[in-house]
Chains A and B, each alone.
Chain A
Amino acid sequence: MTLILLAGLFALAPPTGVRAYDTPDDGGGAIIIEWQISQDDQILDGYEIYRSDNGIDFEKVGFIGKGRTTIEDETNDGVKYLYKVAAISDTIRAYSEPSAEVMSYPQWINRNKINIFVAFFIFGGIILYFIYHARKGKELFIRKIAGLQAIDDAVGRATEMGKPILYVPGIGYIDYIATIASLNILGEVAKKCAEYETKLINPHIDPIVYTVAREVVKESYTKVGRPDAFDPDSVYFITDLQFAYAAAVDGIMVREKPATNFLVGWFRAESLILAETGASAGAIQIAGTDQVSQLPFFVTACDYTLIGEELYAASAYINRDPLLLGAIKGQDWGKLIIGAILLAASVIGIITKFPILNLFR
């Protein structure tokens, strides 16, 4: 009797309402377990989670602190599980009733990402619409971008002075948009170098970007009818270390004294080192990056700077190809629509209680 009384005194209230369900919008292998906290939650060490695949033998699969009501468990797909949650305090445990049977399985669609995909298709549709119109021969206006306007003059300056052009494509990998945009501009610069017989120096930090750039430059020389003038050693790999690359490029600037430096691509801390050394060597500098943190350094130290998407628009700007210009126009309209939606959503969010922000999560 005393023992039963003592047991009653030290008994913990178990957690209740244990519910287990397959984690939604995932690739399977996970089950979420929810419960209501024990009435003795304040004195607990936490909750232990037990799992069984036969309804008889339960094994411990997790632990979580007191006050918590949910946990996710890693499981094998297609296997039925039951769950129990135990409130623990020191060595005393109070087990809940088992949950209903549950099985995890992978989903084909992540519903949380649908809003982004819808936005992507709308935006893409607008761009394709304007490209379609551009095909019909409609004249499209693009505003002046000083940095791109200056490319011809910059190459001409190098030719007159008999000095080389240094083209630095940044330290990004080939899958960075800024690197691809930089290679587009490199193609154009290489064409002009081929036409004017100006020496081009193009050092690289990434081997894959180096191999692509080599082909881009070679094709440019071929396209203007000067395949013989292409020097394979003008495009070369230096090192894959950030500051070693910066030191090497600085050395090139000081020794070769290029008349024009192009610093176009994805940069990090070495941007100011490159830009300032180029400025001290007396070169005209055209820079461009989408890295917001490096833009102030380029704006300070370079003669022209392409900011963010001006870099991406370079190819369209230089070629004046109607399809590319159509894409730029579509992009601008997309921005306008997004701006209008943001403004409308802000007004709705401020004036009403409608949970407008949930549409964007």
Chain B
Amino acid sequence: MKIIDKLAKIDRRIIYLILAVVVILPMIFPSVLRVRVMPPVEKLFHAVDNVPKEKALIIDFDYAPQTAPELEPMGFALLRHAFRKRTKVLILSLYVQMLGLAQNALTEVIEEFNSVAETNTDSIIYGRDYVFLGWVPPPIIPILGMGESITNVYQVDYYGNRTDTLPLMKEIKNYNNVGLLVSLSGSDPPEWWIAYAQNRFGLQVGAGVTAVSASKYFSYYQTGQFSGLMVGMKGAAEYEEMIEKELAIKSRRIASEALPPLTYAHLVIMVFIVIGNISFLMQRRKK
């Protein structure tokens, strides 16, 4: 019975140690946990996949360092998908702090593609295949302004080039030339794109959001205002699963690698709760 008493009062340091081990070990020895793709992610995948050749995909990178673990894998997966399909891509941020993270994602994915490209046609070329528009304050003004003219809102891109001189921007004038916009954000921007860009200009909008804000955004998905929705780490892992399965894109699956620590941490907590309850019930029975 002493064991029962001990199990009822496990030192919290043991709990912390075990939790640390089950979170760190899968990160040191990464493995990929395959996931079943749920309808919201599948819909978003098909929405990106079906962007017409003559139209562009806009990705709005609006995540901060705190939300990057959940949203950055989504950005990576979307860029890989778009570049594989040779969809024209425009990248922007509604806040200045997010530009650095957007730049990181772009640099890494383009390097992946260009390192295996054999010809100029295979390569991802700036100005022809994608444009990094950058940031224009305040957040709502570019959303409204791009309905009429993107180059009027972003007169120079992130690198200081005049946007009206870039070949891509000669074809993509406003939302009429945009097939889909996907907003990656841990706060309000997806709502703003719906309220201003979709309501006024009929733009198709998808979103990648943090798990915490999922309950808020599911209602937009249910009404069809979002063409698709990725939620949290699992949503990112599902998108990675889709691009590997449908497009045979073999790359590092960051979100899928993060699922084992997440799963094991949950299981450890559940095991401890079960142990605590078993010892509690046995102690109660003893009394």
Residues in A lying within 8 Å of B, measured CB to CB: 45-46, 63-68, 280
Contacts and interface: CB of A to CB of B under 8 A. Distances in A.
A68 B12 contact: no
Contacts of B202: 65-67
A280 B12 contact: yes
B147 A65 contact: yes
Contacts of B147: 46, 63-65
B123 interface: no
Given A65-B176, A66-B202, 17 more contacts: A45-B174, A45-B176, A46-B147, A46-B148, A46-B176, A63-B147, A63-B148, A64-B147, A64-B200, A64-B201, A65-B147, A65-B200, A65-B201, A67-B202, A68-B200, A68-B201, A280-B12
B232 to A, nearest CB: 16
Task: In the A-B complex, list the 5 residue pairs whose CB atoms are closest, starting with the nearest.
Answer: A65-B201, A63-B148, A65-B202, A64-B200, A45-B176
A153 to B, nearest CB: 24
Contacts of A64: 147, 200-201
Contacts of A67: 202
B175 interface: yes
Interface string B181-203: 00000000000000000001110
The range of chain B's interface size is under 10
Interface in B1-43: 12
B225 to A, nearest CB: 16
6 contacts: A46-B147, A63-B147, A65-B175, A65-B200, A68-B200, A68-B201
Interface string B122-166: 000000000000000000000000011000000000000000000
A45 B148 CA distance: 9
Nearest to B12: A280
Contacts of B175: 65
Contacts of A45: 174, 176
B110 to A, nearest CB: 32
A40 to B, nearest CB: 15
B280 to A, nearest CB: 15
Contacts of A63: 147-148
Contacts of A65: 147, 175-176, 200-202
Nearest to A44: B176
A301 B12 CA distance: 13
Interface string B81-119: 000000000000000000000000000000000000000
Nearest to A62: B148
A306 B175 CA distance: 51
Nearest to B175: A65
Contacts of A46: 147-148, 176, 201
Contacts of B176: 45-46, 65
Nearest to B203: A65
A64 B174 CA distance: 11
A65 B176 CA distance: 8
Contacts of A68: 200-201
A280 B12 CA distance: 9
A67 B200 CA distance: 9
